[in-house]
Amino acid sequence: MTQVLNGDAGTLDGDAGTRRLSELTAARHAAEQGDATATEAQHRRGKLTARERIELLLDPGSFHELEQFRRHRSTGFGMEARRPHTDGVIVGWGTVDGRRVFVYAHDFRVFGGSLGEAHASKIHKVMDLAESVGAPIISLNDGAGARIQEGVTALAGYGGIFRRNVRASGVIPQISVMLGPCAGGASYSPALSDFVFMVAGISQMFLTGPDVVQAVTGATVTQEELGGPYVHAAKSGLATFVYEDEASCFEAVRELLSLLPANNREVPPAVDCLDPVDRRCEELLSLVPAEAGQPYDMGAVITQIVDDGGYLALHEDWAPNVMCVLARMGGQVVGIVANQPMALAGVLNIAASEKAARFVRMCDAFNIPLITLVDVPGFLPGVEQEHDGIIRHGAKLLYAYCDATVPRIQVILRKAYGGAYIVMDSRSIGCDLSLAWPGNEIAVMGADAATNVIHRKRIAAAVDPEAERSALIEQYRTDLMHPFYAAERGLVDDIIDPRDTRAALCAALEMLDSKQEALPLRKHGNQPQ
């Protein structure tokens, strides 16, 4: 009896063929199981193994592994005696909700997940495949950085990853999931990706660790204090999402993928919408106070207008004075940028400008229409903001909107003052439609401040300065800030009943669905840094 193993290679004796298959099966099993002691140690750290993570992330049985038998070829520093299969990274493709994705996962059990030449080559291969096929790439990061024993070849491996990150930027979604330490140059790949997930208690990111910080600056700091999830979520803005455990993190990754297209040549997947597109939002009348200075939760407004009240907020803890969310309206994915009056009165500052600008560019890259909900008193004043570059950073948001070609709709809920009004996707910078609620106030500044500037001498000379000031404020409001002022000049397309906001937006999105716009021929723009 003979068994054909390869049509081109001919046949092998049955016993030899069975033996080869047995050896292959044993090798594959050994590669998949890894070292039992190392697996136990990984579990003691409260972490899953690389393969367990892939199983949680992908649809059951969908994973196809590549280069499972790859080994390093280093011969120095004792490495010749340790040549485990996979070389510390699992790579391949599978599906999430039936849609193809590519994935690589550092295996901390093998050389601490450190990156060497073979390890990097596997990652390069799967990144190249993801770009050429046009499917998202997801990295599950849990590694000790560059493999010291392999020297400069390890560093060159990281360079190859970074180059591919940049080449794929805006072409396919890139998602980094931090599930362990990420130090030094290794942290640049997550920083170059579109979304960064971190898990509390097990993930950290920093360029220089606590020991180096102490040696150079004298400051004593823990890994968690230096680069833990909540530091990057609230202070650096590097972490897009933070979750308490790996299972909830992977579920959130799957949710995010459901809102993204596979690549920049597609649109996000639509779903059947059971929430009527013309549903009136009665609660909006009571949610938003008429008085411009009274705070309210913009999140509650968004809940009212989107499908079934559901949305995914990005960077919730960083720059909370602006909200950036993905949601659905009429079954279609939209990106919403909104001032949040509950935080710093909804002003724009450096962090908010950075956050919103990056979100706008991401939505534009992946064909996600933009809705901008405006209730902004202006840019945050202050010496620190000016010296730290509020002009430069605010210009990033302006640039992002002006450069965007997706459908863009602005809704002014209450106030929109000064440069912040312009920057928040006004008609003058190219939004397709501008809608406003009946109580809108659009002006260079608030009536109080404007009156003080314009009529300072007249107020000072008045018999009753306060009465004169009050009368002049009211006159300014009547002449220059009445709800129809901008509409009369064509800067607002329609003034709508707040209760009809959802219906108006859904109708506008449907109308703009076939929008086509081309930018001037150029290599690329030179956006503010």
Q: Note the pLDDT of residue 31.
A: 63
Confidence of residue 7 (pLDDT cuts 50, 70, 90): very low
Q: Final residue of a domain: which of 480, 504, 523? A: 480
Which candidate in 112, 170, 185, 430 is catalytic?
A: 185
User: Is the same domain home to 248 and 318?
Assistant: no
Whether residues 3 and 64 fall in one domain: no
Residue 139 has pLDDT above 80, yes or no: yes
Taking residues 171-186, report their average pLDDT: 92
Spatial distance between the Cα atoms of 445 and 44, rounded to a whole number of angstroms: 58
CA atoms within a 13 Å half-sphere pointing along the CA-CB vector of 172: 25
Residue 185 carries which DSSP code?
G
Min mean pLDDT across 163-177, 338-352, 445-459, 504-518 is at 445-459
Q: What is the mean pLDDT of residues 5-20?
A: 60
In a domain? residue 273? no
pLDDT digits (tens, 9 = 90+) for 472-505: 878 877 777 777 888 889 999 999 999 999 999 9
The mean pLDDT of the chain is 90
pLDDT of residue 71: 76
Q: Does residue 499 sit within a domain?
A: yes
**pLDDT higher than 50, residue 3:** no
275 belongs to a structural domain: no
Tell me, yes or no, if 419 is annotated catalytic: yes
* pLDDT in the model for residue 387: 96
For residue 344, CA distances in Å to 43, 66, 315, 375, 452 come to 43, 50, 16, 12, 23
Q: Answer yes or no: do 434 and 394 share one domain.
A: yes
The mean per-residue pLDDT over the stretch 106-127 comes to 87
pLDDT at 462 (0 to 100): 83
d(CA 87, CA 124): 14
In a domain, 209, yes or no: yes
355 shares a domain with 251? no
The model's pLDDT over 219-264, given as tens digits with 9 standing for 90+, comes to 999 989 999 999 999 999 999 999 999 999 999 999 999 999 999 9
Q: How many C-beta neighbours within 10 Å does residue 56 have?
A: 16
pLDDT of 372 strictly over 50? yes
**Same domain assignment for residues 462 and 495:** no
Name the catalytic one among 112, 184, 237, 299. 184
- 509-526 average pLDDT score: 92
Q: State yes or no: pLDDT of 57 exceeds 50.
A: yes
- Quick one: CA dihedral 516, 517, 523, 524, positive or negative? negative
The whole-number pLDDT of residue 38 equals 82
Nearest CA to 298 among 265, 259, 344?
344
Tell me which residue has tokens 């928040």. 424
Q: Map residue 439 onto helix, strand or coil.
A: coil
**Residue 4 pLDDT greater than 70, yes or no:** no
Dihedral angle computed from the Cα positions of residues 308, 309, 312 and 313, in that order, rounded to the nearest 10 degrees: 170
Q: Between vectors from CA 257 to CA 256 and to CA 263, what angle results, nearest 5°? A: 130
Nearest by Cα to 516 from 407, 436, 434 = 407
206 pLDDT more than 60: yes
CATH number at residue 62: 3.90.226.10
pLDDT at 32: 64
Which range of residues forms the domain containing residue 333?
284-445+482-513
Whether 265 maps to a domain, the answer reads: no
* Same domain flag for 219 and 90: yes
14 is catalytic: no
Residues 177 and 230 in one domain: yes
Looking at residue 390, its pLDDT comes to 95
Do residues 181 and 199 touch, judged by C-beta distance below 8 A? Answer: no
Please indicate whether residue 145 is annotated as part of the active site: no
Residues 508-513: contacts with CB under 8 Å, at least 24 apart: 508/407, 508/409, 508/432, 508/433, 508/435, 509/329, 509/330, 509/332, 509/334, 509/369, 509/407, 509/409, 510/330, 512/369, 512/407, 512/409, 512/432, 512/433, 513/332, 513/407
Residue 63 lies in a domain: yes
Does 463 share its domain with 509? Answer: no
| Among 420, 450, 486, 504, the one annotated catalytic | 420
Number of domains in the chain: 4
Catalytic: 185? Answer: yes
Q: Are 239 and 245 in contact (CB under 8 A)?
A: no
Same domain, 26 and 109: no
Give the pLDDT confidence of 319-360 residue by residue, as tens digits. Answer: 999 999 999 999 999 999 999 999 999 999 999 999 999 999
What would the DSSP string read from start to end of 504-526? HHHHHHHHGGG----PPS-S---
User: Looking at residue 475, what is its pLDDT?
Assistant: 81
Coil, helix or strand at residue 276 = coil
Please give the backbone phi and psi of residue 139, each rounded to the nearest 5 degrees, phi first: -110, 130
Is residue 357, in this structure, part of any structural domain at all? Answer: yes
Considering the candidates 151, 201, 389, 419, report the single residue annotated as catalytic: 419
Q: Is residue 283 predicted with pLDDT exceeding 80?
A: yes
SS3 142: coil
Question: Is 178 among the domain residues?
Answer: yes
Asked if residue 404 has pLDDT above 90, the reply is: yes
Residues 105 and 234 in one domain: yes
What would the DSSP string read from start to end of 64-91? EEE-TT------STTGGG---TTTTEEE
pLDDT tens sequence across 262-280: 999 999 999 999 999 999 9
Residues 99 and 233 in one domain: yes
318 and 343 both lie in a single domain? yes
pLDDT at 30: 64
